[in-house]
Amino acid sequence: MNILICKSCFSPNTTPTCCTHCGSLFITEGADKNVIDTFAPTCLVHRYEGSDLLEPAAIVKEGKRYQYVATGLLEYARPTKVAKERVFKYDQALLDSVTLLRKERRDYVTAIDTRMAGLWTQLQPLSR
């Protein structure tokens, strides 16, 4: 199902002609295009304290202390509030590097857990 996000009210719509929320007519092509039909990230956000997860996001609205960002197409209607110091310039190479390192760490921890479980199966009960 194709979803269009109205640029005036950020409501998700499945009808290709007009917004079901505010009633504005959709223009889907050209310089006057007034819908968002694909997610195009404009920044990286770090939402969780103590985490190394960076997420691609698009800035929907700016406040004095917070940025309101969407991490997906459907989040434009209800953007997430993130402190401005946790919003960074979008860099795909950096995001790919962080994602690769996170995957390597997860694989390493999984391998250690598997080896540890194997050792625990070798334990013999103490007989008296």
In the block, tokens 């013999």 appear at 124
Distance, in Å, from the CA atom of 44 to the CA atom of 38, rounded to the nearest integer, reads 17
| pLDDT for the residue numbered 56 | 96
- Residue 71, pLDDT score: 92
**What is the C-alpha separation between 108 and 21, in angstroms, rounded?**
49
Q: Is residue 55 part of a domain?
A: yes
Quote the CA–CA distance of 59 and 11 in Å, as a whole number: 16
Q: In what order do the strands lie in the sheet with 55-62?
A: 80-83, 66-70, 55-62, 43-45, 87-89
CA dist 27 to 5, 32, 61, 108, 126, Å?
Answer: 11, 7, 22, 49, 76
Within a domain: 127: no
The whole model's pTM is what?
0.74
| 78 domain residue, yes or no | yes
- Asked whether residue 44 falls in the same domain as residue 27, the answer is no
Residue 23 scores a pLDDT above 60: yes
Residue 6 and residue 22 in contact, taking contact as beta carbons nearer than 8 Å: yes
Are 82 and 49 in a shared domain? yes
The pLDDT tens digits of the residues spanning 47-104 come to: 888 888 999 999 999 999 999 999 998 898 899 999 999 999 999 999 999 999 999 9
Residue pair 5/12 in contact (Cβ under 8 Å)? The answer is: yes
Say what the pLDDT of residue 1 is. 47
Domain of residue 15 covers: 1-33
How many distinct structural domains can be found in the chain?
A: 3
Give residue 43's pLDDT: 96
Instruction: Report pLDDT digits (tens) over 30-43.
Output: 888 888 888 889 99
